[in-house]
A and B are shown apart, each in its own frame.
Chain A
Amino acid sequence: MAVKSKVGAKLLGVNLLSLLVALVGLLVVIQYLATRMVLNWHRDRVELVARLVLAEYLGKIQLVQQASHLLAASQALGELLAAGDGENLRRAVQSRFPSTGMHILTITDNQGVIQARAHDPGAIGVNISGSPLVRAGLQGKVASRMAQWQDSIALSASAPVLAQDKVVGVVLTGVLIDRKFVELLSRPGAEVAIFFANRLVVNSFKDVPPEALAELVRLKDLAARTTLPQDREQSLELGGNPYTVTFLPLEGEEKPWENLIVVGVSRRELDSTLSTLKMVIVGVGLGSALVGALLSIWLSLGMRRQIAHLADGTRQAAREELAGDIPVTSRDELGELADSFNTMTRALRDKTRLLQAERDRIAANADFLAMIVHDIKAPLTGVRLTIESLEDETLPPDIHCKLKGIIRQSEGLLLHLQNVLDLSRHESGQLSLRPEAVPASFAVQRVIQRFSPLARHRGVTLTAAPLDGLPLLWVDEPSLERILANLLTNALAATPAGGEVRVEGRPAPEAHPPAVELVVADTGPGLPPDVHEHLFAPERPARPRAGGAGLGLHICKTLAEANDGVLRAESVPGRGCRFSFTIPAAAAEPSGERRPSSASAGAR
């Protein structure tokens, strides 16, 4: 079936919304953590590269020192120096120079005066024999340092040349700190710059304009002032490329923040990693959102279907169509609800069946009663007609009187039977009324006529007020006659000889729609006040009036109400009773066609 559940759609909406919120939150957290991890990794890498560069630099120093050391240890050089043989010394230096890998090689005598010198073409004019190094050599020590000569910086070392345990000279070796040097130090993706005496001397950064390098200098000063190691790493844009730079002060020097190495690791790789990461996270997020949404829809489908079934079932139940069980499609509280709903409707169906059976039983009882009444009425006709045919015979007057009594008794019996039948039909819903326009005077006169023999017999005056001016009544005629007959039977029974029973009629006051009020008044003893309360109940504990009026008044009330009327009783103890009932007036229309029954219905 099609799922048409508003609650279901809302549930799904809530589901998807919370899924979305949770997912966005998760993505933000993952993004934050992942970015932090990547940055940490980058920082570690920067540190690692910096260490490698530093190690390389230290390796260079060692090479320079080693070269000076090896040359100084050469005996031949010592002898030549000791002998003051300048010519051969220069030749020996020239011949050995290429194998040292140095840019500059200088040898002085024990006075510090240069005796021989060799240099690379790029290092012509560079003098590395700065006094601190020569002084150290003359004192028999080895030393190394970064030294400047004019525009060039060199990394140089000195070692004493000994002959017979006497210092006879000093060997000075050096390599130029030039672009080639820094390129050698640098790693793929990492560039190196060297500061000497607070001045940026050389760097391996490519395509960086000089003004951008000013920023590097500013950063260096900033780093020099801080004591925290992490602040020595800075992000910097150099010539359009992002770098993370770190500073390696050459601690061995006297002024560490004047001579230092700067390592810049390109962030380009980092940025691409970060954006790839972002894409992966967003992709995975979208994917899981899609999967979650599909799962949500799939999971809620059963629920929504169950809700739709429940709503349908409830609507049907509200229309009293308890046709069958609704399907139980989900195994949760909703399923339990559907189960309970089915149990409830099953119970309702059972109850309805029982109720219907009960109704059928009552109807069958009513039918049975109707059959019995009918079976009594048929022989009663024979009895009555036989008695009445006897009346024509010449009979003694007392027998005649007794025969009249039998007829009256049979009429009383008939009224009781009819009351019982009407009541049972009313209770089983089979009391069918055929309202029609009836002139009040017509119905009243017929009943008066029927009861006048009884009244005469009792010595009671039975009269009817003129009713010709009243509007037509809209009433089921047999009902009207039955009400009047019951009220008259009661009134005649209650009124002592010499009393009066009177039927009156008038338009009911303040009645909407218009109605007629008919009154049966007697001059009997009236009703004690405590009887009023259950006067119209089918059974009364005490019977204040003769003639078994209990069921009669009950049926009067029932029939009056079935004809849209109201039955009321007024009584003044000692003065008599007035039973009044209203009957709706027929709407202004010509008195309709009369059915065959209008001729009679138990008339007399």
Chain B
Amino acid sequence: MKTWVLIVDDDAITREALAEILTRAGYRVETSDGGGDPGVALSGRSFCVAVVDYHLPGASGLVVARRLKEAQPDCRVLLVSAELPAAAVSPAWTGSVDAFLAKPFSKDAILQEISRLCPDP
């Protein structure tokens, strides 16, 4: 069974390129532009990893990450942003984020990170 990966990013180009790379790497990918509530809207599927952009037009990536964790506690959250947000390392958000990857990242970097978080695709 293929592993589901959720991509939450408002930038369509990034989202699509990432989806293509991950699909080619053998993952099943669901994307969201972060506008709705991904945690609720996509609750039908069980995700192994969620790649969440910190800067979203609606809520912060951290809020999305927390909702996801609430809906699916087994889902690992990989936060991506240009810089590690100071809030992400504060005790209030500990547990919402499993890993951080600085933008812009390479194909190899994201694949390596996802395979680390989700060892059995």
Contacts and interface: CB of A to CB of B under 8 A. Distances in A.
Whether chains A and B associate is yes
Kindly name the residue among B89, B100, B104, B108 whose own CB sees the greatest number of chain A CB atoms within 10 A. B104
- Return the 10 tightest CB-CB contacts between A and B, nearest first: A382-B13, A385-B17, A388-B107, A382-B14, A381-B104, A377-B82, A386-B17, A374-B82, A596-B100, A380-B104
B88 to A, nearest CB: 7
B110 to A, nearest CB: 8
Contacts, number: 93
A603 to B, nearest CB: 6
Interface string A397-429: 000000000010010001000000000000000
A120 B90 CA distance: 141
Contacts of B84: 596-597, 601
Interface string A593-604: 001110111111
Interface in A373-399: 373-374, 377-386, 388-389, 391-392
Contacts of B21: 385, 388-389, 392
Instruction: Give the interface size class of chain A.
Output: 20 to 34
A600 B82 contact: no
B89 A596 contact: yes
A604 B110 CA distance: 9
A382 B13 CA distance: 5
Interface in A574-604: 595-597, 599-604
Kindly name the residue among A385, A407, A597 whose own CB sees the greatest number of chain B CB atoms within 10 A. A385
Given A389-B107, A600-B99, 12 more contacts: A374-B82, A374-B83, A381-B11, A383-B13, A384-B104, A384-B105, A385-B21, A385-B110, A389-B21, A391-B107, A596-B98, A603-B109
B6 to A, nearest CB: 17
B70 interface: no
A381 B105 contact: yes
A362 to B, nearest CB: 19
Given A374-B83, A386-B17, A596 B99 contact: yes
B113 interface: yes
B69 interface: no
B14 A378 contact: yes
Contacts of A597: 84, 100, 102
A451 B89 CA distance: 29
Given A378-B55, A597-B84, A389 B24 contact: yes
Contacts of B24: 389, 392
B9 to A, nearest CB: 9
B18 interface: yes
B13 A599 contact: no
Nearest to A387: B17
Nearest to A373: B82
Interface of A: 370, 373-374, 377-386, 388-389, 391-392, 407, 410, 414, 595-597, 599-604
Contacts of B18: 385
A600 B100 contact: yes
Contacts of A378: 11, 14, 55, 82, 103
A414 B104 contact: yes
B20 interface: yes
Contacts of A373: 82
Contacts of B11: 378-379, 381-382
7 contacts: A378-B82, A381-B11, A381-B105, A385-B17, A389-B20, A599-B101, A604-B109
Contacts of B109: 600, 603-604
A369 to B, nearest CB: 12
Contacts of B102: 597, 600-602
A599 B79 CA distance: 12
Nearest to A385: B17
B5 interface: no
B105 A600 contact: yes
B118 to A, nearest CB: 14
Contacts of A388: 17, 21, 106-107
Nearest to B19: A389
B97 interface: yes
